Amino acid sequence: MPPPIPTTHDPIDTAIIIVGAQRSGTTWLGKIFDSHPDVLYRHEPDEAHPLPPNAAPEAIRAGVAAWAAERGARAAGKRPFFRKSWQPARLHWLRNAIAAGLAAASRLPVIGRVAAGVPLPDFVQAAGRPRLRFVLKSVALCHSVGDLARALPDSRVVVILRHPCGQVHSVMRGNAHRRFDLRAAGTDMPYDEVMALRAAAERGIDDAGFQALADAAKYAWGWVAFNEAALASARALPNVRTILYEDLCAAPQAQARALFAFADLGWAAQTGDFQARSSSGGDADSYYAVFRDSADAAERWRTRMPAADQQAVRAVVRLSWLASLWPDLAAP
C-alpha cells in the first residue's frame, strides 16, 4: 500500500496523475476524478508544456506546477464541469458562462484563434485551497511515469490500459475520420513511430519488416511501445497503480472507489452520480463521449473489428509480456 498522503497546502506535492495511451479511457477516468468537489482538473496540459527529456526532480516539479497553472481552453475547458468546494456557486456558473462564450468565439473565423488563447479562470478561493487536489490526465507521459512518481513521492499515478484490440480498433476508427493530429510529418499513423519501430526491433523486426506489416499490426506495436514504457518505468513504485479499462467498465463504482481510496480521496455524492450516469448510456457512436454504456464500450470491438485486424494485433501483442494481462490473448 502507498504511504498516507501528509497534510499539505501545495496541491503539486499530492498531484493525481492519470496516464494511458490515447483511446484507453483516460478522459472518462479523468472526469470521474474531476467530479470530486475538491479536485482541480487539467486535460493534457503537458501538450502545452512538455517535460524536457531526463528531467531532474526539480524540473519535474516545476513542470507539474506549469500544468496546474495552464488555463487554456483545451486544458481547463474540458466538459462536463462540476461544482467545487473551493468555488462558490455563483463563480461556478460564471465560469461555465465564460467557457461557453469562449467556445463559441473559438469557432468564429476571425477571432477564433484569439479566443482559444484566452485563459479560463478557475476562481479558486483561498479558504478552500488547503483541500484542493490537482488532477491531470495525459496520453503522452509513458516514459515519465516512474520519474514523476519518484520526484513527487506523495503523488498518486494511475496507469490505465485497454485491451489492445479495443484500443487499436478505436484509434484506427479515429484516424480514418481524421480525428487526430499526426505525431510527425511524413507519417499517416497517429502514434510515435520511432517508439513503435524500436519495440518491434527488440523482437527482431527491422524497419522494412515493420513497414510491410498490416496497419493494425503497426498500431499494435505503438500500443506495446507506450504501455511497456509506462509500466516498466514505474515497476514496484508504491504510489503507482495500474487499472484495466475493461475492469473499470465492468464495475465502474467499485473500481472508482478503489482508485479514490488509493489516492486518499473520499467518495462524494457528486462523483457517485456522475459515475452512474456516465457508465449507463449516452451516444455510443460519439467518438469523444464520456457518457456511454460502459459494458458495451469495452467489448463492441469484438463484433466490429475485422477478424484479420484482430489476428494482426494478437500476433504482435503475444510477443510482449503485457499479453498476460488479458487471458484471451494467449488463445491461438
CATH assignment of the domain containing 114: 3.40.50
Find out whether 171 and 191 touch, Cβ atoms under 8 Å: yes
pLDDT number for residue 191: 72
Q: Cα separation of 323 and 204, whole Å? A: 18
pLDDT number for residue 303: 95
pLDDT number for residue 332: 61
Find out whether 238 and 4 touch, Cβ atoms under 8 Å: no
From first to last of its 332 residues, what are the pLDDT tens digits of the chain? 677 776 566 889 999 999 999 999 999 999 999 999 999 999 999 999 999 888 999 999 999 999 999 999 889 999 999 999 999 999 999 999 999 999 888 888 888 888 878 999 999 988 767 789 999 999 999 999 999 999 999 999 999 999 999 999 999 998 876 666 654 444 556 678 899 999 999 999 999 999 999 999 999 999 999 999 999 999 999 999 999 999 999 999 999 999 999 999 999 999 999 999 999 876 655 656 788 899 999 999 999 999 999 999 999 999 999 999 999 997 66
Q: Establish if 186 belongs to a structural domain.
A: yes
Q: Can you give the residue range of the structural domain that contains 315?
A: 16-324
Q: Establish if 4 belongs to a structural domain.
A: no
Q: Establish if 251 belongs to a structural domain.
A: yes
pTM, full prediction:
0.93
Q: How far apart are the first and last CA of the chain?
A: 36
Q: Establish if 331 belongs to a structural domain.
A: no
The 10 Å CB-count burial string (b at 16+, else e) for 59-77 is ebbebbbbbbebebbebbb
The one-letter amino acid code at 129 reads R
Q: Establish if 124 belongs to a structural domain.
A: yes
Q: Establish if 1 belongs to a structural domain.
A: no
The DSSP annotation for 234-300 comes to TTT-TTEEEEEHHHHHHSHHHHHHHHHHHTT----HHHHHHHHHHTB-S-TT-TT-S-SBHHHHHHT
Count of domains for the chain: 1
Reply yes or no: is the peptide bond before residue 80 cis, omega within 30 of 0: yes
Q: Establish if 78 belongs to a structural domain.
A: yes
